[in-house]
Amino acid sequence: MKLLLIILTFIMILTSCSAGYEVVNPYKNLGYSGDRLFPIKTNHSEFSLRIWISNSTSIDRVISISKDKDEDYQGSVIEFGKLFNGKVYTDYYKNFDIKPKDGFSTFKQQVDSLNLLNLKTKQDIEIVYDQPFSTYVIEIKEDNSFNTFRFNTYYPYETEQEDIYSKIEKYITNEFDIQKLFKFKK
């Protein structure tokens, strides 16, 4: 019995040393946890808008704009995914502040005019082999109202048909100067 206990202890030590683990903070840091990508439906902000963008690359981007009752507007971009150097994939993560070109109050007025709280998911486009496309997921919360929807477009934006979804994509692309902000390789 004692030998079995020693063997089990030895196995546990070997497997616990080789297994990856997650470091847990012993305290709750509100500033840090506020940057995490929890659903905006669960936050306590007065206004939140999160735009998830996937542009046919290995890096996904998330633009977050929020306003708390006691704070001004804040904006950030989180980029995450895998980078490939021709031989090896490496994890990639970057977080930085962002401001709309026309300022936060003008941005908020434009967002209100797009009626994002009432839009539904757009029917998927036909994805063509070797045709780059973008996927957008929009989450918006204002006071107690919440909406989330999704739409796909070809990338880069090259459509003559103006529907509400192409207007959203065009506005986001121009307001945040996405072509300069996200340096895509061609």
Which span out of 6-15, 18-27, 35-44 was modeled with the highest average pLDDT?
Answer: 35-44
CB 60 within 8 A of CB 54: yes
Residue type, 178: I
pLDDT value for 162 = 76
**Dist CA 10 CA 13 (whole Å):** 5
- Counting Cα atoms < 13 Å in the Cβ hemisphere of 79 gives 16
Domain range list for the chain: 50-181
Angle (CA) 15 19 22, round 5°: 135
The per-residue pLDDT of the chain, averaged, comes to 78
- For every residue of the chain, DSSP letters joined together read -HHHHHHHHHHHHHHHHHS------SS--HHHHTTS---GGGS--SEEEEEEEE-SSSEEEEEEEEE-TTS-EEEEEEEEEEEE-SS-EEEEEEEEE---TT-HHHHHHHHHHTTGGG--PPPPPPPPTT--EEEEEEEEEETTEEEEEEEEEESS---S---HHHHHHHHHHHHTTHHHHS----
* Residue carrying the six token digits 């996937």: 54
Q: Which pLDDT tens digit goes with each residue over 72-129?
A: 899 998 888 888 888 888 888 888 899 999 999 999 999 999 999 999 998 876 766 6
pLDDT confidence bin for 15, thresholds 50/70/90: low
